[in-house]
Amino acid sequence: MEPTPWDPEGATWVLDADGDLADGSAAVGLDVRNYYKALVAARCLDVRLSRMNLPMFASSAGEEAPLCATALVARDEDWIYPGVRDIAVSLTRGLGPDELARRVMSDGPGRVGQAALRIASPTAALGMHLAIAAGHAHGQRLAGTHAVTFALLGEGTTTAGVFHETLVAAAARDLPLVLVCRSQLWPSGAPAEAGLVGDSVADRARGCGIWERRVDGADPIAVWAATAVAAARARDGKGPSLVEVATTQLIHDPPAHRDPLERLRRHLDRTGQWTSTYQDVIEAEIRGQLDRAFAYGTEVA
Amino acid sequence: MEPTPWDPEGATWVLDADGDLADGSAAVGLDVRNYYKALVAARCLDVRLSRMNLPMFASSAGEEAPLCATALVARDEDWIYPGVRDIAVSLTRGLGPDELARRVMSDGPGRVGQAALRIASPTAALGMHLAIAAGHAHGQRLAGTHAVTFALLGEGTTTAGVFHETLVAAAARDLPLVLVCRSQLWPSGAPAEAGLVGDSVADRARGCGIWERRVDGADPIAVWAATAVAAARARDGKGPSLVEVATTQLIHDPPAHRDPLERLRRHLDRTGQWTSTYQDVIEAEIRGQLDRAFAYGTEVA
Amino acid sequence: MNVTESMSLALADLLRDDPRRVLLGEDVVTGGMLGWSRAAADDEALRPRLVPLPLLPVSLPAHAGGLALAGLRPIVLLSTAFALLEGLAGLREIGLWAGRSGGERTAPVLFVAPCGAGFGLGDESVEALESVLARLHGLQVYSVGRAEDAVARLVGAATFEHAEDPTVLLVPRMVLAAAAPDDASNAGSLAATSRVREGRTLTVFTWGEALEPVLAACDDGALDATVVEIGRLAPLDRDAIVEAARDTGRVAIVHAGSVGHGLGAEIAALVAEHALYYLDAPVLRVGGDDGVHAAADELRSLPAQGRIAAALGELANP
Amino acid sequence: MNVTESMSLALADLLRDDPRRVLLGEDVVTGGMLGWSRAAADDEALRPRLVPLPLLPVSLPAHAGGLALAGLRPIVLLSTAFALLEGLAGLREIGLWAGRSGGERTAPVLFVAPCGAGFGLGDESVEALESVLARLHGLQVYSVGRAEDAVARLVGAATFEHAEDPTVLLVPRMVLAAAAPDDASNAGSLAATSRVREGRTLTVFTWGEALEPVLAACDDGALDATVVEIGRLAPLDRDAIVEAARDTGRVAIVHAGSVGHGLGAEIAALVAEHALYYLDAPVLRVGGDDGVHAAADELRSLPAQGRIAAALGELANP
Ligand SMILES: Cc1ncc(C[n+]2csc(CCOP(=O)(O)OP(=O)(O)O)c2C)c(N)n1
Ligand SMILES: Cc1ncc(C[n+]2csc(CCOP(=O)(O)OP(=O)(O)O)c2C)c(N)n1
Ligand SMILES: [Mg+2]
Ligand SMILES: [Mg+2]
């Protein structure tokens, strides 16, 4: 397939625009249908939240792959430090819709952490969760465990000093830290706040001696594979990594192949794993759960 | 000449260990004898200060080249933001020994700024002077002047978040900012605080899209030449730069060719511009000035 | 027109009045998160003076200080006052420039920052940081209490009426949400304190979003109360505060945010030091609830009007 | 043996007592800038628990908080208390963990920080930041007043005697320079307030390096004064403070650093709120001179004994 102006430069993919898997080994160990269900659930949650007129809420539609992939790759003993827009991590990791709705109504959609699930609360100071995550990974390493700490961020946060100090600490002490960065693509020119300096975020991480991959966020399998490799490295004591995921926000109205759900759906369809009935069933299930949860949440709030 | 284990890797030089100039064009526009005098004065000042048992004072012997070169390259209309150990910048830029001594006695050797000479005061917060310098360069650019802002730092400061934010701001707005970084070499292994991550500081700056050069600090001509090119670029609107200067502190007792004064002395000697009488005269002059200044300063303090 | 819109127009005028002024802030070229730079962005002639930057939480105040040292008059439109905590070390630095030996220079930067409850954000956005800012040297801190004063305070602060020091103007989100009265004046006005109500039984010191509920409580309770708005939070006008306390001998301090170690502590201390012999009752501090407040509970960071009324009533009629 | 050496021995023992403890700090593997980790560095068995890091001014407190969340008990040896200002946003964050919904976790980190005049550094090193730290939620702040208490406070703080919250122990440089008395106890002790002298005419609240000159001034002037050392600066022990103020009716607050918006303001406010009817004289605050102090003038940041004596004398005998 010809790349369109919507496709990122220098980003790895394994699933082409039509959903053909170029490299089957990338999906080894991945339950693709389960992943697809998680992506659909994340999208349904985003749609639900978008309707609620929450203060400062911004849709994550189109950016679900790194959120769901991180939650799927992380093991029970690992910790995840999401950013304020990464609520889908909690849903995929198992925070029940009722509890999730309760927290959204009380704390806001950006403040959904749950110690029991080893999901940390985001911080008020931009990117400060990355520094706490680095310390957490440091503690895991000093304790001699093989646990990994994951932290999520957006490209705008990479200009903050604390992001740099996190890279430095991780590199200096070989920490089992996996940074997953959503780098939004700007079809009509990036604002200054996107912080595009140098060639890419991954490139800057490499400058600090950190292992990195830059993958296409419209390809959920590539995102999962890169995250899985990064986590395996960390678990094996090989140190920190940064997975940069080039994402297209659906609010920009991109062509369908830029939507990670549609891309994975095409793949399932081609491999005989998808029907419209299947789609209806999984959507109905999650929508029903969310509707009940938020209806109740709204009542008690 | 064979490099010794004391010589930095990947750092440019033009003056070899014996003082032979490999590339004459590097020194075009440089008054080498004047530069040598400035280096000698800086060393004499360092020796004077080292004897005074000042709190937290650390000798800069061996690291004078970037300090003197910056002061010589900067024009009157430019501003210089030195770090706390860069007092020689002020001496070379023309802060009189009497005023300098007065300020050392009142504020300490790290806090010698002088607005009239366009030398800023260092900041208490590590590396915060870099952020102010970036803002200053930004103001110069917005005002449409061709003035340049120079800021000095050590490699330890490059791990601080504010260093990163400075690179980002400079790159994002194409600021006329020249960063001059002393990267100390550690003959018997660097401490964690040296912040050696990635290949070099210059490499990390390049990752942010910033023009950089890494030069050998034992070669004063290479240091001057790189700084002059960086300043010319900034003046021409070509944006920010970072000059990384790999320095050897004389407290580590390196071979003589690692001493920038000795290296330049050999060059002057070879080209018939140095005699021991000349040395005695310039040393006597600056020593006399400093002795008088500090004797008086001590009296009034 | 709401307060944000009138401030936006005033900011555009400020740019027109002095070519040294520039606007910094998140999304400043497209109007900014709150819309403060919208009017300037709509005027092609002003657009070059909207200065976009990446997100620089640590260095933004210091960067703005550098712009000022280079001769500009930067106005930094923050998305939240909390950003000043992230850049506090740099803010402290630029406050010190004037006091450094080696030649005095000041850094006339204005930071305009929304603060407090009102947008349903909770957490850090409702944290009252006045006392932290007031502890820094060389900083001027102002606050807006009533919608009709917002533009006058903005203009006064941006013209550095009092001193060419780094200046912070805190604008409560509750005030931003209000309608801008038609009769508001655009002339700058930065009184350190204003006696907005006169009475003989008690003196209430207040500022920010607490001013309106205090006035309402006094009116509703028909209290014979002097209400002093503290417009300048730092440096405090000690003499005016002490005099107003002595006038009635009963002092209450009412403000948003928790009271412990807040700015009200310094006001109470000034009263205890300089007006003690005039006091007929213990000094009273009324603020919001302690602790971090979740988004849904953010109004707990404000002293409710009922609580204010009860407290002032008891102070007036013990 | 000086205080630093005795603290160094105590720190090594603390590592031996609990394998979860680790030491962080600049040059920690070679003893640290002040020598606090020297004894630990001399013991091969402890060396793996000396954790070197690059300079991370923004993120060090947050990083240490992360270590604590992972189950360790980090002790961060700062080279100056001012570093807490550079990392304030992160420090605030780890103080909030316990208060967040979603499951309570605390971050038991101890920061040990030299503060104030004594080393001839001036400027930021002599800035008193207690009131800024006290304004943050969920933080415990302790201070050392006398050399003989240094080790006991350190041990008490490192064992989180009071609460498993992030804790700051401020150690005045004037105290560090003193000799460690032989009879000092190593048992942890973290009293929020200690009445170190009893008297009936006036009550002096003081802490840190001001304690010794206050005691000397009381003795020299033969003042009938109660002296209360505030050992825990945050949270303050309100009841103990109010009771001590009521006992005599004359209150002075003496501390290093400038008084305006300092920690003494909160103490004065508590007295004005809860002990007003017992007061016979205005509350008095005595501190160092205002402003930034150059290295050569750094002692101006301390209240001189003569000035303390004069002020207390006048309060006692008006
Ligand atoms: C100093 C500071 N400025 C602005 C904000 C508001 N803010 C919170 S998240 C965010 C966006 C950061 O961009 P990015 O990391 O790319 O996240 P995304 O684009 O996914 O929202 C901003 C501007 C803040 N929290 N702190
Ligand atoms: C947060 C913080 N930690 C430590 C210090 C003390 N400090 C001041 S300068 C400096 C050295 C920084 O290293 P570098 O920039 O390489 O300078 P140099 O080696 O030339 O002294 C240190 C540790 C500080 N100012 N702030
Ligand atoms: Mg983004
Ligand atoms: Mg260094």
Each residue's pLDDT tens digit, A133-162: 999 999 999 999 999 999 999 999 999 999
pLDDT-derived band at D187 (thresholds 50, 70, 90) equals low
Q: Is the pLDDT at B296 greater than 80, yes or no?
A: no
CB D270 within 8 A of CB C283: no
Determine if ligand 1 sits within 6 Å of the CB of residue A138: no
Interface mutation vs chain C, best among D94, D100, D130, D135, most C CBs within 10 Å: D135
Q: What contacts 24+ positions apart, CB below 8 Å, involve A17-26? A: A17/A257, A17/A263, A18/A257, A18/A266, A18/A270, A19/A263, A19/A264, A19/A265, A19/A266, A19/A267, A19/A268, A19/A269, A19/A270, A20/A267, A20/A270, A21/A221, A21/A267, A26/A221, A26/A222, A26/A225
Query: Which ligand sits closest to the CA of A153?
Result: 1
Mean pLDDT, residues C182-207 taken together: 88
Q: What does the DSSP 8-state code read for residue A174?
A: T
Residue where the block lists tokens 């204003």: C194
For residue C318, the model assigns a pLDDT of 81
CA A153 to ligand 1: nearest atom? 15
Q: To which H or E segment does residue A91 belong?
A: helix A88-93
For residue A298, the model assigns a pLDDT of 58
pLDDT-derived band at D97 (thresholds 50, 70, 90) equals confident
For residue C197, the model assigns a pLDDT of 97
Pocket test for ligand 2, best of B57, B63, B157 (most atoms within 8 A of CB): B157
Q: Is the pLDDT at C161 greater than 90, yes or no?
A: no
For residue C180, the model assigns a pLDDT of 75
Q: Is the pLDDT at C8 greater than 80, yes or no?
A: yes
Phi-psi region of D255 (alpha: psi -120 to 50; beta: other; left: phi over 0): beta
Each residue's pLDDT tens digit, A56-73: 899 999 999 999 999 999
Each residue's pLDDT tens digit, B161-208: 999 999 999 999 999 999 999 999 998 889 998 988 999 999 999 999
Q: CB within 8 A of A131, min separation 6: which ones?
A: A162, A165, A166, A169, D56, D58, D59, D62, D63, D66, D90
Each residue's pLDDT tens digit, B84-124: 999 999 999 999 999 999 999 999 988 889 999 999 999 99
Q: Which residues on A lie below 8 Å from B208 (Cβ)?
A: 197-198, 204
Each residue's pLDDT tens digit, A214-273: 999 999 999 999 999 999 999 999 999 999 999 999 999 999 999 999 999 999 999 999
Give me the residue from B160, B161, B197 closest to A208, CB to CB.
B197
Determine if ligand 2 sits within 6 Å of the CB of residue D27: no
Note whether C285 contacts D269, CB cutoff 8 Å.
yes
Instruction: Return the bridge partners of B179, or none.
Output: B151, B242
Give me the residue from B160, B195, B207 closest to A204, CB to CB.
B207
For residue C98, the model assigns a pLDDT of 75
For residue C190, the model assigns a pLDDT of 87
**Of B80, B92, B195, B70, the residue nearest B132 (C-alpha):** B80
Tell me how far apart the terminal alpha carbons of chain D are, to the nearest angstrom. Answer: 43
Query: Which ligand sits closest to the CA of B84?
Result: 2
pLDDT-derived band at C22 (thresholds 50, 70, 90) equals very high
A-D CB pairs within 8 A amount to 113
Q: Is the pLDDT at B266 greater than 50, yes or no?
A: yes
Burial D153-188 (b: 16+ CB within 10 A, else e): bbbbbbbbbbebbbbbbbbbbbbbebebeeebeeeb
For residue D190, the model assigns a pLDDT of 87
**Of D166, D173, D168, D214, the residue nearest D194 (C-alpha):** D214
The span from the CA of D65 to the CA of D83, in Å, is: 15
Ligand 3 is an ion; residues with CB less than 5 A from it: A 154-156, 184
Q: Is the pLDDT at D184 greater than 90, yes or no?
A: no
Q: Is the pLDDT at D15 greater than 60, yes or no?
A: yes
Distance A55 CA to ligand 1 centre (A): 14
CB C276 within 8 A of CB D282: yes
**CA nearest ligand 2 atom 24, residue:** B126
pLDDT-derived band at D188 (thresholds 50, 70, 90) equals low
Q: To which H or E segment does residue D196 belong?
A: strand D193-197
Ligand 4 is an ion; residues with CB less than 5 A from it: B 154-156, 184
pLDDT-derived band at C1 (thresholds 50, 70, 90) equals confident
Q: Is the pLDDT at C159 greater than 70, yes or no?
A: yes
Across chain A, mean pLDDT equals: 95
